[in-house]
Amino acid sequence: MGKRVVIVGAGAGGASAAAEAKRRDPSLEIAMIEQRSQVSVAA
């Protein structure tokens, strides 16, 4: 069983943190939790 990371907030900061964590350790299992029903997306 690998390491798990939970990120609270699925906005730009949360997505950036998830991407950086995955780059540093591709074996991580990452879950993002967002209060709203929709997550922020940007191009």
pLDDT confidence band for 1 (50 / 70 / 90): low
25 or 41: which carries more pLDDT confidence?
25
Q: Dig out the tokens for 33 from the structure.
A: 């939790």
- Cα torsion for 27, 3, 11, 37, to the nearest 10°? 110
Q: Is residue 6 classed as helix, strand or coil in its secondary structure? A: strand
- What's residue 43's pLDDT? 45
Its pTM stands at 0.75
Mean pLDDT of 24-41: 87
Q: What is the mean pLDDT of the chain?
A: 87
- Give CA–CA dist 38/36, Å, rounded: 5
